[in-house]
Structure 1
């Protein structure tokens, strides 16, 4: 992991996937870039924006942005990583459903995910 892979002061870009929100899409789980705070959707989600962010920026480390989860993942090593406490908030809002956000998830959402 590179020295600049984590910036503890970088605030999250929002409460949901930045690109899905912009496009009116939806996600299964959320991941937060540990370098810049970009919030993107996980690889199970239809659009896989967190991984796309890593490929576009080279920022290899993400942290789960789910309530009660504090693990880091390093895309460059394909393994869990360690990291410091990041700027708040630590997760999406507790009242945001999974998948989410409310009102944008299709009834047949399971047929759209990557497993």
Structure 2
């Protein structure tokens, strides 16, 4: 039985290794975020499309976590606060050989001019 509390399901794996919407639109991201409730991978708010935040707005799933190697923080959109959460189903991050920003071949040379501040 999946453990669910406060928008977190520890048994749901991530939806993939990159932002689902960016990949579908041949877009790119700066960093990746994972929905702690359904596993959806979206791009961060610094990314041009901010799909992780849009996922929260569209679904009401309140908690996301980093999907970057070596990062283990969580963010609660409803409470507007960060916290330390439980270990989710593997994998914990995108592959370490996947570039940041990514995906390979989609990031414009002037990507830093397109980052949201």
Q: Which TM bucket (shorter chain)?
A: over 0.9
| Alignment: residue pair count | 114
1:8-41 Cα offsets, whole Å, 9 max, x none, are 0111000000000111000000000000000000
Q: Offset of 1:83 from its aligned partner?
A: 1.7
- Kept in 1, the 8 Å contact 2:28–2:107? The answer is yes
User: How far apart, in 2, do the equivalents of 1:29 and 1:82 lie?
Assistant: 19
Pairing partner for 1:72 from 67, 71, 74: 74
Distance 1:77 1:4, change over 3 A: closer
Structure 2: segments with no counterpart, 5+ residues: none
Compute the TM-score of the two structures, normalised by the length of structure 1. 0.95
Structure 1: segments with no counterpart, 5+ residues: none
Question: Pairwise CA RMSD of aligned residues?
Answer: 1.2
Q: Offset of 1:82 from its aligned partner?
A: 3.0
Compute the TM-score of the two structures, normalised by the length of structure 2. 0.94
> Equivalent residue for 1:86?
88
Q: Offset of 1:4 from its aligned partner?
A: 4.6
